[in-house]
Structure 1
Amino acid sequence: MSPYHVDGFMFAGINSGIKKNGQLDIGLIVAEKSIPCAGVFTTNQVVAAPVIQSKKRLAERAMARAIIVNSGNANACTGESGAADAQTMAGHVAKHLNCESRDIQVCSTGVIGAPLPMNTLLDGIDKAMDTLDQASFFDFAEAIRTTDTFTKARRAEITIDGRTYCIVGASKGAGMIHPDMATMLGFVITDAPISESDIDALWRRTCQKTFNAITIDGDTSTNDTALFMASGAAGGAPLVGDHLARFEDTLLNLTSELSKDIVRDAEGGTKLVEIAVSGGLSFNDVQTVANTIALSPLVKTAIHGEDPNWGRIIAAAGRSGVKMDPDQLTLSFDDIELFSAGEWRGLEAEKRVHSIMLRNEYTIRLDLAQGDQSHSIYTCDLSADYIRINADYRS
């Protein structure tokens, strides 16, 4: 049995020819029937046709039967024909499954502005339908990639009252990453029973702490989508109360790793750094400070150069717009203080911090010493390779 097997689902990932290099470019997730589904989508005002369609359908009814994804073409900024193409994709899948097209979630990712090669795409959907099985989730995860350097897939289990529930997820993204949402596609499925009335709030809470808490370059996409489906095929009544809370913790852990995988795969990136801001008066304060530090080009280049330039971090926090007292701030790398009580902690502390910065992953902590609110953002370094990759993206 595949390690990514989930009761109640089948998967496919195939090459249709959208990508001329032979890589997989159509992914499909199919449930046995229409099941509870939730989605969180881009907040960019320039929105791709499949996002508009999928968001509207989930707003009308938090249920879905299947997810169809193509990579290599974003179907964004393609006008009325793009909207029609997204509807055609949904209708073509629905015809195969003998269900309504409103039960099909459609996602596209790739270059903006080019029309979808519909003949190629529809033939590819036919091929994907013919190859559906319970063992091909990793192929699905591979098919949604664009500039990703590795396939991002995760699995978790939780046992509640003697029943073991499985959660499996895949994500893609390596550039144009920033809340809200991070530029990405994310898909998580489970065989646990989650009610239609609970699934949306559960998924939004999860995304707030994971997919909406990563940044690479500050850009958001036209196509960002994160979808969550629950088949209930493992049995039992819908999870509520403490049982739902325990499930949510497991879901959060899996989704956190999927989101961090995106930052680990950042275009040109070599570091995964958690910016953990605590001691805030409000969530908005700590989120704003964390975002400002995580996005600072000077902080990101210092991370790349493994330079303990604490002044850049303090300065970024100071320009965030959040009121703070510099003399009350405490800045640490992991557990090593580098700045506190308004002063640098000295050369020995800086040497120890430099050793921490040689690692691939670590945490920068800033305590505002004002309240009890905290928030973390995951960021990466900024290198010359990021410029090279994005200067040549379409060529």
Structure 2
Amino acid sequence: MKDDEYNSFNQVLGVRASAVASGLKKNSKLDLALIEFASSSVFSAVFTQSHFAAAPVLVAKEHLKKRISRYCLINSGNANAATGLEGERDALRCCEALAEIAGVKKEAIIPFSTGVIGEPLDVDKIRAALPDLFEGLHKKNWLPLSEAIMTTDTKIKIASCKFNISGSEVNITGVAKGSGMIQPNMATMLSFVATDALVDQKILDEILFEVSARTFNRITIDGDTSTNDASVLVSTGISEVDCNEGPGLVELKQGITLVMRDLAHAIVKDGEGATKFVEVRVTGGNKREDCLSVAYSIANSPLVKTALFANDPNWGRLVMAIGKAEGKIDSSIVDIFVNDVCLMSVGQRDQSYTEEKGAREMRKGSIVIRVNLNLGEYEETVWTTDLSYEYVKINSEYRT
């Protein structure tokens, strides 16, 4: 990213960040990040639903209950997951060391980790890097922050927007990481979104829950949920623009939705080995859950995903994926489209469809698969990728 592109991201009042190379990753890559929030800040977070939730997830949940959060400490290169009580103690040791430097209680530190599962966390490396990390805090460090939290990502993921209420400006900026092990359940891979709006805890929690459900919880690359998923939304209140109701609340929801949606799309576009960005839109459902079941059945099907990679308009695979989904489906009235080309009309191959038309659409880098169940008024959208040789190569060589 060029400097002028980076500078286009809005600085959120009351937020500073820093990143260093602690040695957890090879080749002196950035692997340790810190985000500092003003003492007035309100924190909201959702986490992975995995039964193997990582040690930092468990510690973070406990610390957030104290409502004194000031810092997010994030390491990449090691997930500190499936590490037992020692892993929790390691996460706490990192929090204690930073708390001493920052002059706050250890519960003010919220830890996050991402990387290889099952390996002990090298606490000594992290603790040794903390003084430089704290010293480097600056309001413009969103770029190194986004680099430091990457694992198999190939691109940084930053999104930003701003709006005005009665002549006063409110900023929203966020970063995320993730390109594999992606199908969250009330969480995301790792994302940190901040605003300088003034928002109460209850409203902030409602916004995160609602917006996550329509953005981060609607993406899938491989159908796998990480042990470390977390999505954090913080309001510093420094702008003093009250967004708890009225136009301010409406604008804030729209802005946070825009930022989280852009981050979610960026994660899909950077999916491991991905060559296509695919939107699966299911309409006409009898229930919202039926639409979502069909959408994920298509988006997670290896046969559909490999056909997408091969530019193969094998619409029989779409029929297969729809047919195995749960919920109410009447096969005699289903319509299927790829972009604007109708493949199936009322349960049969559309009379105007040709393989040439289908192949032309499948060759495009961005594809919309539309399914109309023709049973009701509900609809859902999921975003996904194709499945390529490179995905297999990346994941087979992940630890080698």
**Structure 1 residues 294-340: Cα deviation after superposition (integer angstroms, max 9, x where no partner):** 00011101111111111111221111122211121111122222111
SS state of the match for residue 19, structure 2? Answer: strand
Query: Distance between the aligned counterparts of 2:286 and 2:350, measured in 1?
Result: 26
Which amino acid in 1 is paired with 2:337? S
- What is aligned with 1:294? 299
Contact 1:330/1:367 (8 A) holds in 2: yes
Contact 2:286 2:328 in 1 (8 A): no
Cα separation, 2, equivalents of 1:205 and 1:11: 27
- Partners of 1:3 and 1:119 lie apart in 2 by 37
1:238-273 per-position Cα deviation (integer Å, ceiling 9, x unaligned)? 431342122111211111110111111111111110
Task: Give the conservation status (yes or no) of the 8 Å contact 1:62–1:196.
Answer: no
Aligned ranges for residues 93-104 of structure 1 at < 5 Å? 93-104=98-109
For 1:235, what is the secondary structure of its paired residue? coil
Residue 149 in structure 1 maps to residue 171 in structure 2: no
Q: 1:215 aligns with which of 208, 214, 220?
A: 220
State whether residues 181 and 224 of structure 1, in contact with CA within 8 Å, keep that contact through their aligned partners in structure 2: no
| More displaced stretch, 288-297 vs 229-238 | 229-238
Q: Is contact 2:187-2:229 (8 Å) kept?
A: yes
1:161 corresponds to: 166
* Residues paired across the two proteins, number: 394
TM-score w.r.t. structure 2 length? 0.95
Alignment correspondent of 1:340: 345
Q: Which amino acid aligns with 2:133?
A: A
**Matched residue, 1:305:** 310
What letter corresponds to residue 308 of structure 1 in structure 2?
A: P
Q: Percent identity?
A: 37
Q: Distance in 1 between matches of 2:180 and 2:187?
A: 9
- Give, in whole Å, the separation in 2 of the partners of 1:139 and 1:232: 24
Q: Equivalents in 2 of 1:209, 1:84: separation in Å?
A: 35
What's 2:193 paired with? 188
* 1:62 Cα offset (Å): 5.1
- Measured in 2, the distance between the counterparts of 1:164 and 1:354 equals 47
1:319 equivalent among 302, 324, 337: 324
Q: 1:67 to 1:44 in 2, by over 3 A?
A: same
Shift of 1:183: 5.9
Match of 2:287 in 1: 282
- Contact kept in structure 1, 2:307 and 2:314, CA below 8 Å: yes
Paired with 1:378 and 1:220, the residues of 2 have a C-alpha distance of 15
The residue type paired with residue 175 of structure 2 is A
Rounded Cα–Cα distance in structure 2 between residues aligned with 1:194 and 1:354: 49
The aligned residue for residue 16 of structure 1 is 22
The CA deviation at 1:341 is: 1.2
Structure 1: stretches of 5+ with no match in the other structure: none
Give the whole-Å Cα distance in 2 for the aligned partners of 1:61 and 1:242: 31
Output the CA distance in 2 between the equivalents of 1:127 and 1:388.
Answer: 36
Q: TM-score, normalised by structure 1?
A: 0.96
* Residues 34/69 of structure 1: CA separation in 2 closer, same or farther (3 Å cut): farther
Contact 1:11-1:136 within 8 A present in 2 as well: yes
Please name the residue that 1:179 is paired with. 184
- Equivalent in the alignment of 2:3: none
Match of 2:34 in 1: 28
Residue 37 of structure 1 corresponds to 43
After TM superposition, the structure 1 stretch with the greater mean CA deviation from structure 2, 28-37 or 225-234, is 28-37
Give 5+ residue unaligned stretches, structure 2. 1-5
Query: Equivalent residue for 1:112?
Result: 117
The equivalent residue for 1:130 is: 135
The alpha-carbon deviation at position 196 of structure 1 amounts to 1.3
Greater mean deviation of Cα atoms: 303-312 or 66-75:
303-312
Structure 2 CA distance, aligned partners of 1:192 and 1:360? Answer: 37
- Separation in 2, partners of 1:62, 1:94: 15
- Supply the distance in 2 between the matched residues of 1:71 and 1:324 (Cα, whole angstroms): 43
Question: Separation in 2 of the partners of 1:233 and 1:182?
Answer: 27
Equivalent residue letter for 2:170: Y
Whether contact under 8 Å (1:292, 1:320) holds in the other structure is yes
Q: Which amino acid aligns with 2:369?
A: I
Query: CA 1:350–1:165 in 2, change beyond 3 Å: closer, same or farther?
Result: farther
Indicate conservation of the 8 Å contact 1:75/1:108, yes or no.
yes
Q: After the TM superposition, which residues 243-262 of structure 1 pair with which residues of structure 2 at under 5 Å, given as runs?
A: 243-262=248-267
SS of match in other structure, 2:38: strand
Closer, same or farther: CA 182–390 of 1 in aligned 2, 3 Å: farther
Whether contact under 8 Å (2:18, 2:145) holds in the other structure is yes
Q: Is the 8 A contact 1:288 1:320 kept in 2?
A: yes
